[in-house]
């Protein structure tokens, strides 16, 4: 009798002492800002994409950013380009949405049209500027996309469209319905989002059966939460907190910090001055000090894995004497090199941006420039960063951070360097021509053209003050098997997470 109760007692105590998470197949993820919308057509915004993309809603294809990855099929099993230049997608069969309805080509067409509809202002249309695209249903499992002008990277562009049922109304929804392995079970705004696995998912069931998303704006708190076990993953923590190699991982996060120059304002209209600007900065000195180890020195506004990256382009060396000499030469020719330059930053844009810009300011001053530093909050910064630029502005170096994780320069080059580009500071016909040709080209020719543009902008035009490709840090609970990739900034597919 006593022995039996002893056994039961011990068993009871043993189960009580077993750590609760040993059998827990759900994860808790702490994000750095609140998710204000869960609308699928807004999933290109990173804080929304991290919750919905590939979890609730899926896309026709997705970009695998690992070595030799490329476009992988998802809801579209295969695609080909037809003779008239349009793209035909063959859709997967036997897929259902979480509300039970079947997935077919009409859903795809509706998803596309809805995302482009001017009455709801999704973010997506900006990627389709300058072209008209028509989606044509061929049959239940085949759909054609016709683009004018022809788009060689149309399948890549379509990875931005989240697929929703055709009954979805043309207004922002708060209960997204998709083909992904999870559905939204709870959303307490400002506090928590809960996703749970659904049984009728078409693909392989992920190991993670559910996820809770929490929001904490302070990076130290996020790191602390994973350390104490209150959370399992924090996709973004501060470099300073990333001290534990067992749980902390760094990743190139596809963000590039650069200073945009307006070539129409003196003295930036003079090539020597722009060269001097670049030579005056000791970029190496920042790595490991103000910019975390692992960050790369930038020669373009998109990171190395992007198509058309030109390895032959070299980073500007640190040569303050040459910079001073060039300035002298320009001054002798009557260029107004002593005009005070304003170095403009956006508050809380990236970690240490105040210190980085202070250091840049001092380096430029040592080379002979007169530099003032001014920070602005988001709204005012946007006014200075995008056209129309304010009248009567002096020479400005607008330091911004640009994100391109899409694998192709076309997502950046037009806006940043075309004569009509919204953030462009140059107006160069050769650049415009190269951009147009590269956007229309395919395969090797495309790659060659982008490489040529890369070198031309960096070495010949000296368009900007390019600085760094940034790294991010994540902290992951040791019970999980997951490491961040370049895509982590914009999406976090729960299917990638495994338990150890």
Partner 1 sequence: MMSFIRKRAFASLISLILLVVAVFFLSRLTGDPAALYLPSEASEEMRRQFREIHGLNDPILVQFGRYVWDLLHLDFGDSVRRARPAFEVVSEAFLWTLQLAVITMTLVTVAAIVVGSMAAFRVGGFFDRIASLTSLIGASAPDFWVAIVAIVVFSVGLGWLPTSGTGSVWHWILPIGVLFIRPFGLIVQVVRGSMINALSSAYVKTARAKGVKTRPIIFVHALRNAMLPVITVIGDQAAALLNGAVVIETIFGFPGVGKLMIDSILQRDFNVVLAAIMITAIAIFLMNLLIDLAYALLDPRIRY
Partner 2 sequence: MTSIDIIPDEPKPLVRLARMLWADKFALAAVLFLLLVLVLALIGPTWLDEVAQKQNLRGRNAPPFEWERGWLWILGADALGRPLLARIIVATQNTMMVAGGAVFFSALIGTVLGLIAGYAGPRTGQAIMRLADVIMSFPSLLLAVVVLYILGPSILNLVIVLAITRIPVYLRTARAEVLEVRERMFVQAARVMGASPRRIVFRHILPVVLPTLMTIATLDFAFVMLAESSLSFLGIGIQPPEITWGLMISQGRQYLTTAWWLSFWPGLAIILTTLSLNLLSGWMRIALDPTQRWRLEMRGRRNG
The residue ranges that bind partner 2 (CB under 8 A) are 219-220, 238, 240-241, 285-286, 289-290, 347-348, 351-352, 354-355, 357-359, 361-362, 372-377, 380
Q: How far is it, in rounded angstroms, from Cα 27 to Cα 206?
A: 12
In the block, residue with structure tokens 């259902």: 96
Q: How far is it, in rounded angstroms, from Cα 61 to Cα 299?
A: 30
* Nearest-approach distance from CB 369 to partner 2, in angstroms: 15
Q: Should residue 87 be labelled a site residue for partner 1 when binding is judged by CB under 8 A?
A: no
Q: How far is CA 387 from the centre of its chain?
A: 22
Q: Which is nearer to partner 2, 327 or 357 (CB)?
A: 357
Site for partner 1 in 360-419 (CB under 8 A): 377-380, 382-383, 385-386, 400, 415
174 binds, among partner 1, partner 2, none (CB under 5 to 8 A by kind): partner 1
286 binds, among partner 1, partner 2, none (CB under 5 to 8 A by kind): partner 2
383 binds, among partner 1, partner 2, none (CB under 5 to 8 A by kind): partner 1
Site for partner 1 in 167-226 (CB under 8 A): 172, 174, 189-191, 214-218, 220-221, 224-225
355 binds, among partner 2, partner 1, none (CB under 5 to 8 A by kind): partner 2
Closest CA to 360 of 386, 327, 398: 398
Of the residues 131, 227, 287, 315, which one makes contact with partner 1 according to CB under 8 A:
227
Cα 256 to Cα 61, 244, 350, 466: the distances in Å are 26, 26, 10, 8
Cα atoms in the 13 Å half-sphere on the side-chain side of 212: 13
Of the residues 24, 34, 64, 144, which one makes contact with partner 1 according to CB under 8 A:
34
Burial (0-12, 13-18, 19+ Cβ within 10 Å), 495:
middle
The pair of structure tokens assigned to 343 is 């170095």
* Nearest-approach distance from CB 385 to partner 2, in angstroms: 14
Q: Which is nearer to partner 1, 126 or 430 (CB)?
A: 126
* Residue range at the interface with partner 1 (CB under 8 A); choices 29-37, 48-56, 74-82, 313-321: 29-37
Q: How far is it, in rounded angstroms, from Cα 40 to Cα 114?
A: 11
* Nearest-approach distance from CB 343 to partner 2, in angstroms: 10
* Nearest-approach distance from CB 228 to partner 1, in angstroms: 6
Per-residue binding string, partner 1, 123-162, x by CB under 8 A, is x-xx--x---------------------------------
241 binds, among partner 1, partner 2, none (CB under 5 to 8 A by kind): partner 2
Q: Which is nearer to partner 2, 289 or 419 (CB)?
A: 289
Write a three-state SS string for the chain: CHHHHHHHHHHHHHHHHCCHHHHCCEEEEEECCCCCCCCHHHCCCHHHHHHHECCCECCCEEEECCCCCEEEECCEEEEEECCCCCEEEEECCCCECCCCCECCHHHHHHHHHHHHCCCCCCCHHHHHCCCEEEEEEEECCEEEEEEECCCCCHHHHHCCCCCCCCCCCCCCCCCCCCCCCEEEEEEECCCEEEEEECCCCCCCCCCCCEEEEEECCCHHHHHHHHHHCCCCEEEEECHHHCCCCCCEEEEEEEEEEEEEECCCCCCCCCHHHHHHHHHCCCHHHHECCCECCCCEECCCCCCCCCCCCCCCCCCCCCCHHHHHHHHHHHHHCCCCCCCCEEEEEECCCCCCHHHHHHHHHHHHHHHCCCEEEEEECHHHHHHHHCCCCCCCCCCEEEEEEEECCCCCCHHHHHHHHCCCCCCCCCCCHHHHHHHHHHHHCCHHHHHHHHHHHHHHHHHHHCCCEEEEEEEEEEEECCCEECCCCHHHHCCCCHHHCEEC
Q: Should residue 499 be labelled a site residue for partner 1 when binding is judged by CB under 8 A?
A: no
315 binds, among partner 1, partner 2, none (CB under 5 to 8 A by kind): none
Q: Which is nearer to partner 1, 127 or 318 (CB)?
A: 127
Q: Should residue 422 be labelled a site residue for partner 1 when binding is judged by CB under 8 A?
A: yes
* Nearest-approach distance from CB 340 to partner 2, in angstroms: 13
* Residue range at the interface with partner 1 (CB under 8 A); choices 6-14, 70-78, 113-121, 367-375: 113-121
Of the residues 5, 78, 121, 419, which one makes contact with partner 1 according to CB under 8 A:
121
* Nearest-approach distance from CB 380 to partner 2, in angstroms: 7
Q: Which is nearer to partner 1, 216 or 274 (CB)?
A: 216
Q: Should residue 350 be labelled a site residue for partner 1 when binding is judged by CB under 8 A?
A: no
* Nearest-approach distance from CB 138 to partner 1, in angstroms: 30
Task: For residue 373, count other CB atoms closer than 10 A to its CB.
Answer: 17
238 binds, among partner 1, partner 2, none (CB under 5 to 8 A by kind): partner 2
Q: Which is nearer to partner 2, 240 or 498 (CB)?
A: 240
382 binds, among partner 2, partner 1, none (CB under 5 to 8 A by kind): partner 1
In the block, residue with structure tokens 């919750």: 51
170 binds, among partner 2, partner 1, none (CB under 5 to 8 A by kind): none
Binding site for partner 1 (CB under 8 A): 34, 36-37, 39, 45, 118-121, 123, 125-126, 129, 172, 174, 189-191, 214-218, 220-221, 224-225, 227-228, 230, 377-380, 382-383, 385-386, 400, 415, 422-423
């Amino acid at each position: 009798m006593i022995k039996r109760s002893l056994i039961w007692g011990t068993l009871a105590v043993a189960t009580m002492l077993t750590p609760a998470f040993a059998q827990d197949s759900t994860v808790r993820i702490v994000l750095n800002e609140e998710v204000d919308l869960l609308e699928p057509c807004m999933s290109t915004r990173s804080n929304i994409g991290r919750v919905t993309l590939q979890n609730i809603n899926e896309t026709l294809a997705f970009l695998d950013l690992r070595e030799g990855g490329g476009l992988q099929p998802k809801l579209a099993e295969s695609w080909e380009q037809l003779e008239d230049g349009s793209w035909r997608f063959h859709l997967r069969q036997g897929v259902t949405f979480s509300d039970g309805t079947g997935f077919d080509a009409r859903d795809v067409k509706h998803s596309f049209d809805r995302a482009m509809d001017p009455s709801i202002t999704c973010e997506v249309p900006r990627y389709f500027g300058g072209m008209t695209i028509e989606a044509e249903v061929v049959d239940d499992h085949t759909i054609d996309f016709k683009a004018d002008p022809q788009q060689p990277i149309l399948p890549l562009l379509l990875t931005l469209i989240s697929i929703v049922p055709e009954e979805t109304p043309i207004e922002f929804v708060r209960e997204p319905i998709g083909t992904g392995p999870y559905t939204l079970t709870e959303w307490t705004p400002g506090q928590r989002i809960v996703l749970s696995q659904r049984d009728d998912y078409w693909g392989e069931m992920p190991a993670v059966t559910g996820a809770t998303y929490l929001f904490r704006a302070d990076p130290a708190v996020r790191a602390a939460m994973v350390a104490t076990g209150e959370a399992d993953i924090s996709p973004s923590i501060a470099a300073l907190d990333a001290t534990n190699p067992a749980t902390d991982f760094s990743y190139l996060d596809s963000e590039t910090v650069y200073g945009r120059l307006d070539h129409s304002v003196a003295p930036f209209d003079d090539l020597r001055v722009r060269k001097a600007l670049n030579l005056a900065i000791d970029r190496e000195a920042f790595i490991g000090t103000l910019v975390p180890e692992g960050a790369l020195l930038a020669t373009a506004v998109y990171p190395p894995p992007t198509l058309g990256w030109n390895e032959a382009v070299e980073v500007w060396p640190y040569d303050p004497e040459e910079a001073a000499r060039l300035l002298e030469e320009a001054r002798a020719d009557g260029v107004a090199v002593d005009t005070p330059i304003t170095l403009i930053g956006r508050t809380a844009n990236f970690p240490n941006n105040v210190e980085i810009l202070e250091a840049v300011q001092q380096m430029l001053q040592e080379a002979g420039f007169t530099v003032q530093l001014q920070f602005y909050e988001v709204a005012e910064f946007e006014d200075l960063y995008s056209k129309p630029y304010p009248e009567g502005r002096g020479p400005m170096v607008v330091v911004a951070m640009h994100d391109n994780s899409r694998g192709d320069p076309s997502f950046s080059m037009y806006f940043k360097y075309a004569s009509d580009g919204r953030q462009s500071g140059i107006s160069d016909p050769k650049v415009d021509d190269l951009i147009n040709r590269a956007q229309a080209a395919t395969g090797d020719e495309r790659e060659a053209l982008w490489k040529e543009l890369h070198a031309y902008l960096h070495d010949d035009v000296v368009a900007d003050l390019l600085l760094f490709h940034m790294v991010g840090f994540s902290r992951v609970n040791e019970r999980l098997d997951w490491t961040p990739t370049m895509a982590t900034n914009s999406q976090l597919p729960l299917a990638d997470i495994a338990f150890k």
